Structure 1
Amino acid sequence: MSDSTRGDRRGKLSIVLIATATVVAGVSGYLVTLAVAQQAGLAAYSVFAVFWAVLYFIVGCLFGLQQEMTRAVSAGARAQLAPARSRVPVPMFVLLVAGLVAVVIAVSFPLWAIPAFGEDQLGLVVPLAVGAVACVAVSSLSGVLSGLGSWADLALIVGLDGAVRLAMILAVLALGGDQSWLAWGVVAPFPITVGIALFVARRRLAGALYVDGTYRGLLWNSSRTMLAAAAMAAMVTGFPALLSLFSAGVDRDYLGALILAITLLRAPLLVPLTAFQSYLLVFFASHATTIVRALVSFLAVVALGTIAFAGLTALWGEQVFVWLFGEEVRQVSDLLVPLVFASGMIAGLFVTGPAVLSRNAHAAYTTGWVVSAVVAVGAVLLPWPIGDRVIAALVLGPAVGLIIHTSSVVRGAWGTRSVGASGESGQTLLS
C-alpha cells in the first residue's frame, strides 16, 4: 500500500472520528436542554440557559486560542529541524491565559452578573469562573492535538466532554439538585476530560511542550483570533445571555420559552455545519478557481434545507413544542418559523466564513462576524417587543455579515481571474 493511499485512508478516518464525536457532543447538548426544560420548568430553565450561554460564549471566544495553538504547534512541527531563537513553554502559556481569564471574570462580573443571573443567583459566578479557567486547558489541549494531527485524541475530547456532561446533568436532576448543582454539573466535565485526554495522549504530547515565539506574540495572535471567535459566539451560544441582559420586565416564562425555541430551532442547521467547518475550508481552498460557483452551491443547499425545515416547523412545530414542554411554550408559537429562517441566515455565515478564510482573507472574515454581532446587538436594543427584536437581530446581523463575506470572495475571485488573464496575455506576447 502506497503512502498516499494510507494518507487518504487516515484522512477519511479522521473526518469520520471528528464528525462522530461532534454528533455525540451535539446530541448530548440537545438532550441536556430537553431534560432541564422538561424537569426544571421554563422559569428555572431560563436561568440555566443564561448560565449555559455565558459559559459557552466564553468557550466560543477561547476557540480562537485553540486556533492559535494549532497554528503554533503545526508550524513548530514543520520547522522542527530549524533552531528556534525564542521558545515558549506551552504549560506556562496556558497558565498565563487561565490567570488572565480568571482576572477578567473577577473584575467584570459586577457589571453583568446581576442583569444576567439575578441577585438571588450570584453564586453561579463561582462555577462559571471555574469552568472558564478549565476551558482554557480544554481549548489549548485541543489546539495542541490538532497541531500534532492527533485527530483520534481530539475526537476523544469532543465526544467525552459532551457525554460526561449529559450524564452529570441527568444525575443532578434525578437527585433534585438546584441551579447551583446544575451549574457544577455543566462545568465539571472540562477538567475531567482534560485529565483523561492528558493521560491517553501523554506520549504524543511530549513533542509539543514548547512552541516557537514569545509570550507577547502568542498573546497578540490569540487576541486577534479570539476577537472573531467572540463575535461568532455572541451570535450563537451567547445570544441567550445577550437577551437576558436587555430583557428587563419580560416575563421569565416567556423568556425561557423564547430561548428554548432559539436554541432548539438552530441546532439542526448549525450543528452539522459546525462539525464540517474544517472540511469546508479545505474544499474551498481546493476549488479556488471555481470558488464562487462552489459557494453559491453550498448556500443553495443551506437555503433549501432552511425552507424545508421551516415548512416542517410550520406544519408540526407548535404541536411538537407543546407536547415536549407544555402549553406555556405556545406563547412563542408565532416566532417558530421566523426563527428557522433566522437560523438559516446564521448558517449561511458558517458557509461563507470558511470560503473567506480559504483565501487567507482574515480581515474580511473577522470584519464580517464582528459587524454582524454589532448589528445584532443594536437590533436587540430597539424599542420593540422582545420577539421582534430577536428576529431583527438574527436576520439583520447575519445579512450584513453575508454581504461582507461574499463580497470578499467575489473580489478575490475576480482578482485571481485578472491575474490569470494577465499571465496568459503575457505568455502570448512572449511566444
Structure 2
Amino acid sequence: MTTAPEPASPRQSGGLSRGDGILVAAASIIAALSNFVIMFLGTRTLPAASGTEFLAFWSLLTGMFGVISGVQNETTRAVGAVASGARRGVRAIGPSLIIGVIVALIILALTPVIGQRIVPISGGTALPALVITTVAYSAYVTLVGSFGGQGWWSHYASLLASEVILRMLLMGTVLVIGAYLGGYVLACAGATAILFIFLVFSRRSRQAFISRADDNLLAMVRKNLLAVVSTSCTAILITGYGAILTGVAHGSEPLLLGGLILAVSLTRAPIMIPLTAFTGVAIKLFLGHRDAPMKAIVKPVGALLGLGIIGGAAAWVIGPWFVGIFNPGYHIAGWVFGALTFSSAIIAILTLFGTLVLALDAHVIYAVGWLIASAVAIGILLSPVGLALRVVLSLSVGPTVGCLVMLAWLAITAGAQKPEDQQTVGHNDLQN
C-alpha cells in the first residue's frame, strides 16, 4: 500500500500493463500461499477436533467471501462501464452495503444450525465475527471492484495482497501468544479491517470508494442480487464446500472429515485463488471482446484443461504424502487427490464461462448456470455412496453440467448474431 501523493487525474483506460499484470499475479500467489499456511497452522497447532472445526470455519468464512464476491464482479462491470463512457448512476457503495446487510441477516437467521453442526466449539466467537465481517467485506469488495473497473490495477493488487498479509500477521500473533481456536477465528475474520487502513491513508482509495455505477439504486441492487445468487452457488462448489461437507457429514470421525476438507481445499487453491484474483481483469478484457465471445474463451479453456490433467497426475502421486504434512492422521487415497485436482480445472472453466457471460450482461444465464451446477453437486453429496466418492462426483459432475448450460447459451447467442452480421456485411457491399 502506498501513502505517497497520488495523481489528480485518474487513468481511465483500464488497460493492464505488463507491470500491473505482474502485481496482480504476485497478489494471487501471495493469496494462494497464505491459504496453505493458514490451514497448516490450524491443523498442526490445534487438537484434532478443534483443527477440523477450524478448517470448517475457514471454509465457512471464505464461502461468505465467495458469496459477497458477486458484488465485486458487478462493481467491476458497472464502474468499468462508466469509465468507458456509460451514463453515471448511483454510487456503487450503496447497493453493495444493502447486499452485505441482507447476507448478514441470512447468516444470522442460520446461526442455530451453523452453531450446532459446523462450529459447535467456537460458535460464541465465530458466529458474531462472521456476521460483522459480512457487512465489512461487502464494503471491501466494493473498493476492490472499483479499482478493477477504473483500471487502477496497482491499487487493486496492493489491496488484495495487504488483506492477505494482515491476516497472516494476525494469525502469527495468535500463534506467538498461544494457539487457540477462537484466536485463529478472530484473526481470519479481522483482516477485512485493511479496508479502513486504505481509506485513511490512500486518496485514490477514497476516490474509488465513491465511484459511480451505470444504473440507479434499485437496478443495481437487482443486478448485485443476481450476481450474489450466482456467486453463492460458486461458493458452494469452491470455498464453502468444506463447511457444507461438515454439515452433511456431521458426526463423522474428525480425522476422516478433516482430511477430506483439507484435500478439497488443497486441490482448489492452486487454480481457483489466482483465477479469482484475476476475475476483475478477465471481466475488463471480455468487455473488449463482446463481438466474439467464443473466440475469446477458447485458449483459456484449453490452458485450464491442460493444467487440470498435469496437476491431477501430480496430485495422485504427491497428494497422500502432502496431506500428512498438515496432520499425520489424515489418510486420503491418491486417486481422490488426482480426481479432485482435475475437477478444480472444470470448476475454473465454469468460473471463466460465468465471467464471460457476466461481461455480456447476461446476469440471469450466469445465475442459472451456477444454480444448476450447485444443485447437481449438492444432490450427489446427499446420495448414499461412500463419502470420498460422493465428494469427487459432486465436484466433477455438477460443474460440468453448469459449463454445458453456459456453453449452450453462448453458442445460441453466437449463432443468432452471425446471420445479422452477414446481413450487415451484405448491406454494406450493396452500398459500396
TM range (shorter): 0.7 to 0.9
> Deviation at 1:283?
4.7
Does the Cα contact within 8 Å between 2:74 and 2:224 map onto a contact in 1?
yes
More helix by share: 1
Letter in 1 for 2:46: A
- From the superposition, tell whether residues 347 and 90 of structure 1 become closer, same or farther in structure 2 (CA, over 3 Å): closer
Q: Deviations over 1:83-120 (max 9, x none)?
A: x7xx7566666655554444333223123331112266
Q: Specify the code of the residue in structure 2 equivalent to 1:258.
A: L
In 1, distance between residues paired with 2:22 and 2:80? 21
Counterpart residue number, 1:152: 154
- Structure 2: which 5+ runs fail to align? 1-10
Alignment partners' CA distance in 2, 1:140 and 1:358: 17
Residue by residue over 1:184-211, the C-alpha shift from the partner in whole angstroms, topping out at 9 and shown as x without a partner, is: 01011111x0121102323662576474
In the alignment, which residue of structure 2 is the partner of 1:50?
56
Q: Say if 1:36 and 1:173, in contact at 8 Å, map to a contact too.
A: no
Correspondences of 1:129-148 after superposition (within 5 Å): 129-148=131-150
Work out the CA distance in 1 between the residues paired with 2:210 and 2:425: 48
Matched, 1:60 2:66: yes
Q: 1:312 aligns with which of 311, 314, 324?
A: 314
Distance 1:311 1:69, change over 3 A: closer
For 1:275 and 1:254, how far apart are their aligned partners in 2? Answer: 31
Percent identity between the two aligned chains:
24
SS in structure 1 opposite 2:424? helix
Closer, same or farther in 2 for the Cα pair 1:240/1:202, shift >3 Å? Answer: same
Alpha-carbon contact 1:42-1:257 (below 8 Å) kept: no
What CA deviation, in whole Å up to 9, does each residue of 1:106-152 have, x standing for no partner? 22312333111226644421222222222122122223333444333
* 2:263 is aligned with 1:261: yes
Contact 1:36 1:45 in 2 (8 A): yes
Matched, 1:368 2:374: no
**What secondary structure sits across from 1:117 in the alignment?**
coil
**Does residue 20 in structure 1 map to residue 21 in structure 2?**
no
Q: Which residue of 1 aligns with 2:176?
A: 174
AA in 1 matched with 2:416: G
Aligned-pair CA distance for 1:53 = 1.4
Q: TM-score scaled by structure 2?
A: 0.86
**Whole-angstrom distance in 1 between the partners of 2:14 and 2:79:** 22
Matched ranges for 1:122-133 at <5 A: 122-133=124-135
Comparing 96-105 with 304-313, which one deviates more in the overlay? 96-105
Cα deviations across residues 241-260 of structure 1 (Å, max 9, x unaligned)? 11011113311110000111
Query: Which residue in the other structure is 2:37 paired with?
Result: 31
**Shift of residue 72, structure 1, vs aligned partner:** 4.7
| Preserved contact between residue 29 and residue 166 of structure 1 (Cα < 8 Å) | no
Query: 1:365, 1:335 → 2: CA distance?
Result: 29
TM-score (norm 1): 0.86
Q: Deviations over 1:267-300 (max 9, x none)?
A: 2222332233344445555556664355343322
Q: What are the equivalent positions in structure 2 for 1:200-219 lying under 5 Å apart?
A: 200-202=201-203, 205-206=206-207, 209=210, 211=212, 214-219=216-221
Give, in angstroms, the shift of residue 332 of structure 1: 4.3
Residue type at the aligned position of 1:176: G
What does 1:24-423 correspond to in 2, within 5 Å?
Answer: 24-74=30-80, 96-118=98-120, 121-191=123-193, 193-202=194-203, 205-206=206-207, 209=210, 211=212, 214-284=216-286, 286=288, 291-322=293-324, 324-423=325-424
Q: 1:210 to 1:307 in 2, by over 3 A?
A: closer
The number of residue pairs the alignment matches comes to 421
Q: Is the CA contact 1:128–1:183 (under 8 Å) kept in the aligned structure 2? A: no
Worse-superposed segment, 417-426 or 49-58: 417-426
CA-atom RMSD in angstroms:
3.1
Cα distance, 1:208–1:290 mapped onto 2, change above 3 Å: closer
